[in-house]
Amino acid sequence: MGNTDEGVPDELVQAAREARERAYVPYSGFRVGAAILGRSGRIFTGCNVENASYGATICAERTAFVKAISEGERQFDHVVVCASAPQPVSPCGICRQFMSEFGLDTPVTMVGEAGASITMRVRDLLPNAFQPEDLSL
């Protein structure tokens, strides 16, 4: 798998861009695609899926994670997010929490269409995350 300068697999960026084309965004028009590289080597993709009841909308990142988890993947080596925006777009708070469940060290690369990209680990996107261990009674 080829890599860009920052160690992001090109194939993952391409997969996120392709997923973005499938975004269902009649309300915002804001397309987002995500792609996750699982430890098995499989790539899982997702797009945002909006709803007339706006709060029922699901972000691209969570779509991809739910697809991966439901296919049996539990460990993740890289996440890429590509929005229909010139600048890199950050995952929302709910998606940060969702990702933190499956690995604080996973790198998340946010790719802007103007060429800039930013890579941060989940633990830096969501410092002091609420974790499964916090539920111990």
Report, as residue numbers or ranges, the catalytic residues. 61
CA distance 46 to 61: 6
- Phi-psi sector, 29: left (phi>0), alpha (psi -120 to 50), beta: left
Cα(first)–Cα(last) distance of the chain, in Å?
44
Q: Binding of ligand THU at residue 89 (CB under 6 A)?
A: yes
Q: Binding of ligand THU at residue 16 (CB under 6 A)?
A: no
CA distance 35 to 108: 10
Rounded to a whole number of angstroms, the minimum distance from the CB of residue 134 to ligand THU is: 24
Q: Binding of ligand THU at residue 92 (CB under 6 A)?
A: yes
Stretch of 22-30, 36-44, 64-72, 124-132 contacting ligand THU, by CB under 6 A: 22-30
Q: Binding of ligand THU at residue 87 (CB under 6 A)?
A: no
